[in-house]
Structure 1
């Protein structure tokens, strides 16, 4: 595999940044994940951090050398994020569960597998044009699908920022999976939070993804989003990857040069103003919450196997 990849995040006009994003890759597979903590609930940044770390850890644990069942992996691991968030809520005695969106891309065997919950998006660009886009789990998108509003009415709709599907909270998430998509030379995959796609025309986003250098493309994308969000807006985050054996970007990665074991991971925790109301949650506590869920699932699987015999 050969690709170039870049990520970035901006705080925007918000008092602190609740977005979290990361990518991880080894010789045979790549994972990209972005989570947007929901500001209408307490500790959205914690939910987003749990989401990213849970997915990266699962990828590193189960992709040896590749994920056996990609769609099942995405569905089950995203559902587990919800359980880990609830575990943390109980441990920390929180009055409500932290909440977050998530969008995940998994690439292996020259195919893109993706899943999402909420309104963080994945775009696939081919030859400079939008080939695929995830559909938001939002009130206005639902109304649009039902023909009750027009696309032009979305921007002025009073519920344009409300989503009905997330990780954390009383209801288990409905994980939406896209059909596997074969990748072509030069394809660009973009994951971004609503603070990005909500600020500029779709054609402008596509033009930024034509950049020969993905870091330049992501920087320009975030610059435009930041400029459009001087007084009103959201945190803005993006990961972009250009695919192809003929990739000549200065920072292009060829996984043929990598060892068979071990993964390279880049976490972007959005260096910005610290959250004064941040939950005191260490990496070790997150690891323990993830391990608890894994242990519980392991015991459940063993019990099922015994019943089958």
Structure 2
């Protein structure tokens, strides 16, 4: 594992490549890096790279004054990998604080190790449950009664031994990409997906409805109203695991669209950081209507 250049907790440099704890604040250095978009202006975006295979990028896009997304990637000494993206709900107060808190809490739970969770999906679920608790403690910044309390979506993966454990709430997504072929590994918590699942509307008709992208659950809602989804997916050698917010997947929602975009972004031997950068740039080139966050693991 490549050690972090600085402590994620206090920002102090880490000169000793074998160090396990920060000499300045005592925080664990088990997690190689944290990237959570700072709350409040002028948060335009950020990039983080753990190594050539693991990276994330987040960008404000072209239409929004603030980036309300957050993301993290990490590699633990036992070889486990974390990818996480979160999209603060724009109709909520302090949405950027909600997404940043969710990612930070998930990362802290991951850094603590699997604990009593045996399955990789169980560990992913535990990370999302920690994120959910953290979001409930995020304060409002204003007094506008028309705004919901701080809320965010989340999509998270823990990868161990070629298996990805996935957990999510909302409409941020996880894909497995092999060559130019993509497989969606998550299910949106949205009006459109629910309409299709009930059999009341075709996927095409639901996508055209003005209510299509309305999310049906997110972190920040009362705990009894949230169902954390969890599943597992094989991640064979040569495939990639890609997590993203809707600022990216909205441009590639047609079957195979994201796989083709990834194949272009990863072409020419691009490492994970460059592939993420290219995907963000492409979304901005297509309009950048929303914040854009992508986390990528190449195997």
TM-score range, shorter chain: 0.7 to 0.9
> How many angstroms apart in 2 are the aligned matches of 1:79 and 1:89?
19
Question: Are the equivalent residues in 2 in contact too, given 1:3–1:241 (CA < 8 A)?
Answer: no
1:8 equivalent to 2:66? Answer: no
> How many angstroms apart in 2 are the aligned matches of 1:90 and 1:240?
32
> How many angstroms apart in 2 are the aligned matches of 1:29 and 1:154?
38
> How many angstroms apart in 1 are the aligned matches of 2:163 and 2:52?
13
Which residue of structure 2 aligns with residue 31 of structure 1?
Answer: 82
TM-score (norm 2): 0.72
Question: Are the equivalent residues in 1 in contact too, given 2:192–2:207 (CA < 8 A)?
Answer: no
Q: Which moved more, 1:208-217 or 1:49-58?
A: 208-217
| Aligned with residue 192 of structure 1, among 207, 220, 244 | 244
> How many angstroms apart in 2 are the aligned matches of 1:207 and 1:106?
24
Q: Residues 176-199 of structure 1: CA distance to partner in whole angstroms, max 9, x if unpaired?
A: 111x22321111101000111112
Which residue of structure 2 aligns with residue 217 of structure 1?
Answer: 275
Larger Rg: 1
Change (3 A) 1:90 1:41: closer
Residue 145 of structure 1: SS of its match in structure 2?
Answer: helix
TM-score (norm 1): 0.70
Kindly state the Cα deviation for residue 61 of structure 1 after the two structures are TM-superposed: 1.3
1:149 equivalent to 2:208? Answer: no
| Aligned with residue 177 of structure 1, among 230, 242, 260 | 230
Structure 1: which 5+ runs fail to align? 244-309
Q: Per residue, is there more helix in 1 or in 2?
A: 1
Which residue of structure 2 aligns with residue 107 of structure 1?
Answer: 159
Q: Residues 49-90 of structure 1: CA distance to partner in whole angstroms, max 9, x if unpaired?
A: 1110001111111248x9644333322332232222223349
Residue 131 of structure 1: SS of its match in structure 2?
Answer: strand
1:57 equivalent to 2:108? Answer: yes
Alignment of 1:1-309 (within 5 A): 4-12=53-61, 13-27=63-77, 28-63=79-114, 68-89=118-139, 96-172=148-224, 173-178=226-231, 180-200=232-252, 201-210=254-263, 211=266, 212-213=269-270, 214-229=272-287, 233-243=289-299
Higher relative contact order (Cα pairs below 8 Å, separated by 6+ residues): 1
Question: Are the equivalent residues in 2 in contact too, given 1:208–1:217 (CA < 8 A)?
Answer: no
Residue 287 of structure 2: SS of its match in structure 1?
Answer: coil
Q: Which moved more, 1:91-100 or 1:111-120?
A: 91-100
Kindly state the Cα deviation for residue 224 of structure 1 after the two structures are TM-superposed: 2.1
Question: Are the equivalent residues in 1 in contact too, given 2:86–2:103 (CA < 8 A)?
Answer: yes
Residue 88 of structure 1: SS of its match in structure 2?
Answer: coil
Question: Are the equivalent residues in 2 in contact too, given 1:139–1:163 (CA < 8 A)?
Answer: yes
Change (3 A) 1:160 1:63: same
Change (3 A) 1:92 1:73: farther
Number of corresponding residues: 239
Structure 2: which 5+ runs fail to align? 2-50
